[in-house]
Structure 1
Amino acid sequence: MTEPVNLNKFRKEKARTENKARADQNAVAFGRTKAEKDLVKKQQHKLNQHHEGRKLDK
């Protein structure tokens, strides 16, 4: 006789692999490169400095 198989473990493992595959597809479709992230971060920092420099003191 063969060993009984726990179907819950099988279902959970299948769901994990499907979720991982979907996450990888989304990362390719919607993800940004490190260079793009750094560029946006630098632009935000420059904008914040410009804005802070224009504040009036009370």
Structure 2
Amino acid sequence: MADVVSLNKARKVLQRKAAREQAAENRVRFGQTKGEREKQQKDAERIAREFDGKKRED
């Protein structure tokens, strides 16, 4: 005889599995390479330096 399975728990397990698969797909589609992250960080630092240099000191 088969074991009794809570349908609610089974549904949640399937939802978690689908969410993990979707997250993995999104990481591939929308993720950034190491070089892209470093370039973006350097650009942000450069912009911050320029902005700080243009502050008015009254």
Fold shared by both chains (TM-score > 0.5) = yes
Q: Provide structure 1 residue ranges, at least 5 long, that are not aligned to the other structure.
A: none
Query: Partner residue of 2:37?
Result: 37
Runs of 4+ displaced beyond 2 Å: none
Q: TM-score, normalised by structure 2?
A: 0.84
Q: Percent identity?
A: 33
Q: Given the alignment of the two structures, is residue 48 of structure 1 paired with residue 44 of structure 2, yes or no?
A: no
Q: CA deviation at 1:35?
A: 2.1
Tell me how far apart the structure 2 counterparts of residues 47 and 31 of structure 1 sit (CA, whole Å).
23
Q: TM-score, normalised by structure 1?
A: 0.84
